[in-house]
Amino acid sequence: MIEVSGLHKSFGSHQVLRGVDLQVGDGQSMVVIGGSGSGKSVLIKHIIGLLKPDKGSVSIDGEDITGLDSRHLYEVRKKFGMLFQGAALFDSMTVWENVSFALTRSGMKPKEAKEVAVEKLRLVGLSGVEDLMPSELSGGMRKRVGLARAIAHQPRILLYDEPTTGIDPIMADAINDLIIKMREELHVTSVAITHDMQSAYKIADRIAFLYEGNIIETGTPEEIKSTANPYTKQFITGSAQGPIKIEGVELKGA
Amino acid sequence: MLILFASTLKEMIFPPFEIKNTFKQMQEVGVKSVPVVIITAVFTGMVLAFQTFTGFKRFGAEALVGTVVALSMTREMGPVLTGLVVAGRAGAAMAAELGTMRVTEQIDALETLSTSPVKYLIVPRFVSSMIMLPCLTIIADMLGILGGYAIAVWLYGMSSALYWRRAWNYLEMNDIYGGLAKACFFGAAIAIVCCYKGFYTEGGAEGVGKATTGAVVISFMTILISDYFLGAWLLK
């Protein structure tokens, strides 16, 4: 269970999160939607403890992680796997070394770790790439390898940072299918952040809309589709006209 | 930077030790710098011998060429030039590599995989720089003196025995140890400055460029300024 309460975070004078509350139940798939710069990445980085909040708390299975020292935080993070927007693969390592990184760090022998890596790669639909370097992979393949790395140590919670950004629509749909497969086969709790509504509707049990540092609406995909909230409505329809103003842009008739 | 230095010392003491990574960095910082250090040291020794010989000849003291070259190389030129070469070569690479890892979220990825980036990335660079700088300095000292020998003996016809006698007679072990201690300090300073600039890079490709430039400039300044104070303290 992930519980975010009253989360505030500022960078200098720029207030990014202004009291975010969010709950994600075990086995649930929560998608946080929001525009660029709305604080989605900052929120997900708080959930895994990469950032410390100015105020508020993040609890994982009832344990508040905001005050933990780095040693305890590393223990909590073993529950997590994270897929980064650009996959964040380690350039200096081969694909299998990337995937098995957490395993070899925890003492698994390289031969055994490679076998696990090959199995995880097969699970995300890749085979025969284990000895390649990340620079030899396409964008979609990098995402899959990133996902294989995220699941290699069998985490209970998976975090996805913009999983479909920067890849073509067909590959994006394949990644969505993989996210659903991970949830169904591995029974993980997942939190994804995205502004891709097609992806959000497909992978979410619940969707939360983050606007100006607050979650202003939460609901099932169906509830979000039929929302009466003008802000959410404008965002999900992708209209330039509405209460959400584009910073620095004057629109005719707006 | 002091906080990063303190974290590095703390992570260095407690296991697990990053032995494989440290050897890899020793190769990057040390072994791969050898050709540049050799060329720099040989030519510096040659220039020292050339200038000393022609200058000292005016008052009949050209026999001291060996002394000047040996003392200059061990006390100053060896450690300082090695420090500058390593800062320009390996230090820039450290800042650029860590900077790229920061902007592509690889450092965050390490954190999410329950790995301390300071232990995994910075400690091996710090330890290997502290070990390899004195090793490179020994090479630079020896080859600088040999470069001086080539000019004094082969070009100006000085007696080989005289060159070596003058070089050794006035050289004390403290000159060598002091130079190596300075090199060790320069290694630590280069690693901390360059890792700090890379580790806290912001702003994409432009940020990586700025971090790399800043790392090299600050390393150079640190080496040159600290050289005076360390020299005054260690090599009175």
User: Which of A78, A80, A88 lies nearest to residue B105, judging by beta carbons?
Assistant: A88
Residue B7 lies in a domain: no
The residue segments making up the domain with residue B116 are 33-229
- Cβ contacts (< 8 Å) between B106 and chain A: which residues? 88-91
- Alpha-carbon torsion B12, B13, B15, B20, what sign? positive
> Tokens for B218?
């600050």
- Alpha-carbon torsion B23, B197, B2, A68, what sign? negative
Residue from B13, B114, B115, B125 to probe the interface with A (highest A Cβ count within 10 Å): B114
Q: Which residue has the tokens 């005054």?
A: B232
Residue B164 lies in a domain: yes
Residue from B28, B108, B113, B120 to probe the interface with A (highest A Cβ count within 10 Å): B113
Residue B3 lies in a domain: no
Residue B234 lies in a domain: no
User: Which of B105, B114, B115 lies nearest to residue A86, judging by beta carbons?
Assistant: B105
Q: Which residue has the tokens 């000159």?
A: B175
User: Which of A48, A70, A75 lies nearest to residue B112, judging by beta carbons?
Assistant: A48
Is A53 in the B-facing interface, judged by CB distances under 8 Å? no
A157-161/A80-83 β-pairing: parallel
Q: Residue A17 contacts by C-beta under 8 Å, 6 or more apart in sequence?
A: A7, A8, A9, A39, A42, A43, A46, A53, A56, A213
Residue B17 lies in a domain: no
User: Which of B101, B112, B116 lies nearest to residue A80, judging by beta carbons?
Assistant: B112
Under a CB-based contact definition with an 8 Å cutoff, are residues A164 and A175 in contact? yes
Residue B79 lies in a domain: yes
Q: What is the per-residue pLDDT for A248?
A: 66
Minimum distance, in Å, between the CA of residue B32 and any CA atom of chain A: 17
- CB atoms A90 and B116 under 8 Å: no
Is B21 in the A-facing interface, judged by CB distances under 8 Å? no
User: Which of B101, B104, B113 lies nearest to residue A101, judging by beta carbons?
Assistant: B113
Is A90 in the B-facing interface, judged by CB distances under 8 Å? yes
- CB atoms B114 and A91 under 8 Å: no
Q: How far is CA B108 from CA B8, B90, B105, in A?
A: 18, 23, 5
d(CA A75, CA A92): 26
Q: Which of these, B40, B42, B70, lies nearest to B175 by C-alpha position?
A: B70
How many domains is chain B built from?
1
- CB atoms A50 and B111 under 8 Å: yes
Domain extent listing, chain A: 89-141
- Alpha-carbon torsion A242, A17, A11, B95, what sign? negative
d(CA A85, CA B88): 33
Residue B156 lies in a domain: yes
Residue-wise pLDDT tens digits, B175-234 = 999 999 999 999 999 999 999 999 999 988 999 999 999 999 999 999 999 999 998 888
- Residues of chain A short of pLDDT 50, as ranges, are 254
Is A70 in the B-facing interface, judged by CB distances under 8 Å? yes
- What's the mean pLDDT in B55-66? 89
d(CA B86, CA B32): 10
Q: Is the pTM of this model over 0.80?
A: yes
> Tokens for B229?
């104070």
Q: What is the per-residue pLDDT for A254?
A: 46
Residue-wise pLDDT tens digits, B104-161 = 999 999 999 999 999 999 999 999 999 999 999 999 999 999 999 999 999 999 899 9
